Amino acid sequence: MRPQAMRAGALDLADLRELIDTALAAFLCSPSSRVPTQRRRVGGGRDPDRTLASYVLAPGERVGPLLCLLGWYAAGGGRDGKGEEAAVRLAASLELLHAFTLIHDDIADENDGRRGAPGAHRAFAVRHRERAAPDTSGRNSAVLLGDLALVRCDEMLHSAGFTHRQYRVLLPLVDTLRNEVVLGQYLDARTAGPPGADVALASRVVRLRTARYAVERPLRLGAVLAGAGARTLEACSAYALPLGEAFRLRDDLRGTFGDPAVTGQPVAEDLRSGRATVLMALAVRRASRSQARLLRRFVGDPDLDARGAAAVRRVLEETGARETVEKMITARYEAALAALERAPFVPRAADALRRVAADAAARPV
């Protein structure tokens, strides 16, 4: 039986997510046929493959994979009833790339929670609590878990059954994406520290870290798999870049003003880590002398408490930084929708992309 999403008619986002998760589960949970003996004989402790499977299969938005599949449909993929499996595998492999990024990011950020669950290094630290140095041991295991995610991402891609032409076109794009991901992490690391007023730098981080990586590249990858031409690919970027920026700007607001119970993210983490967001850069640029003093005192302080966080939030409101970011989100959402109107996409895929944009713009702070 072919899944609902694959038949003609509306593309249901939940169905597409289901397809992706099923492919991931099939790939991650069946023991690798290639290194079975050693894996089984690691002895004691949990199989790293199984740990990775639990991590990856935890509930998530699957933004990248979803956009990749939609890019494939948008460019006419599946019209001949063929190639769905390769498209789903390509899409699902992006979730493994994402896991790699999250796991290593969380170590660098000393981020203890994400999606309402502890970061991998924290989970390992708890599991290793009887060892001499559980934190170090947990961190080291998380480095390896992230490595494994990237290695298995490759494996999933290499075994997707692409044609030679598809490999020749797709693999360089995947490599570019990965280079950008790692470079984005460097940028993030470089921009940590005392709050700066460099809105341009913060915007560049947004573009690289989310717009490109999480939205534009996946959408274009899917379209390329379907054999998209230049016009379709340009339309992908015209839709994806503003949407991706809206997405990240919204995340920045959620990370600072959101209710952890709703967002699943520890609030004030961005303030504690001093991450260079557009929100913060705007506030620093517009701050009065006393506001600037307050920001320098509290932002980037790992021990920031609720009162300090509230004071920083007041400055973000008083300088109008929050309002400006809200306006930036709206402008980008509208730009994405306008791009969709002009895009030469298959209509039901364009409809689905419209829903993705609406979801992104409407997510509660």
Of 30-38, 68-76, 78-86, 280-288, the window that binds a second copy (rule: CB under 8 A) is 30-38
Q: Give 111's Cβ-side CA count (13 Å radius).
A: 28
Type of residue numbered 353: L
Nearer to a second copy, 152 or 363 (CB): 152
Of the residues 10, 29, 58, 182, which one makes contact with a second copy according to CB under 8 A: 182
CA neighbor of 325 nearest in space, from 199, 194, 227? 199
Nearer to a second copy, 4 or 137 (CB): 137
Site for a second copy contains 201 (CB under 8 A): yes
Using an 8 Å Cβ cutoff, are 309 and 229 in contact? no
Distance CA 20, CA 30 (A): 16
- Going by the DSSP 8-state scheme, the letter that residue 271 receives in this structure is H
The number of beta carbons lying within 10 Å of the beta carbon of residue 87 is 25
Report the nearest approach of a second copy to the CB of residue 179 (Å): 5
Backbone phi and psi for residue 13, each to the nearest 5 degrees, phi listed first: -60, -40
Of 170-178, 242-250, 287-295, 327-335, the window that binds a second copy (rule: CB under 8 A) is 170-178
Cα 301 versus chain centre, distance: 26
Of the residues 12, 57, 76, 137, which one makes contact with a second copy according to CB under 8 A: 137
Nearer to a second copy, 175 or 359 (CB): 175
Report the nearest approach of a second copy to the CB of residue 84 (Å): 21
Distance CA 143, CA 131 (A): 17
Using an 8 Å Cβ cutoff, are 202 and 277 in contact? yes
Of 169-177, 310-318, 321-329, 348-356, the window that binds a second copy (rule: CB under 8 A) is 169-177
Site for a second copy contains 4 (CB under 8 A): no
Using an 8 Å Cβ cutoff, are 300 and 273 in contact? yes
Q: CB-based burial of residue 41 (10 Å sphere; 0-12 exposed, 13-18 middle, 19+ buried)?
A: exposed
Nearer to a second copy, 92 or 343 (CB): 92
Site for a second copy contains 187 (CB under 8 A): yes
Report the nearest approach of a second copy to the CB of residue 259 (Å): 29
Of the residues 26, 58, 126, 189, which one makes contact with a second copy according to CB under 8 A: 189
CA neighbor of 239 nearest in space, from 349, 342, 317, 105? 342
Which residues are within 8 A (CB) of 151 and not within 5 positions of it... i.e. 6 or more apart?
Answer: none
Q: Region of 185 please: left (phi>0), alpha (psi -120 to 50) or beta.
A: alpha
Site for a second copy contains 26 (CB under 8 A): no
Site for a second copy contains 38 (CB under 8 A): yes
Using an 8 Å Cβ cutoff, are 353 and 239 in contact? yes
Report the nearest approach of a second copy to the CB of residue 354 (Å): 30
Report the nearest approach of a second copy to the CB of residue 135 (Å): 12
Report the nearest approach of a second copy to the CB of residue 150 (Å): 6
Nearer to a second copy, 91 or 205 (CB): 205
Touching a second copy, residues 106-125 (CB under 8 A): 107-108, 110
Nearer to a second copy, 111 or 277 (CB): 111
Site for a second copy contains 40 (CB under 8 A): no
- x/- mask, a second copy, residues 140-159, rule CB under 8 A, reads xx-xx-xxx-xxx-xx--xx
320-326 CB contacts, 8 Å cutoff, 24+ apart: 320/282, 320/286, 321/279, 321/280, 321/282, 321/283, 321/286, 322/253, 322/257, 322/279, 324/282, 325/249, 325/252, 325/253, 325/278, 325/279, 325/282, 326/253
Report the interface residues with a second copy, using CB under 8 A.
Answer: 32, 34-35, 38-39, 41-45, 48, 100, 104, 107-108, 110, 131-132, 136-137, 140-141, 143-144, 146-148, 150-152, 154-155, 158-159, 164, 167, 171-172, 174-176, 178-183, 185-187, 189-190, 193, 201, 204, 208
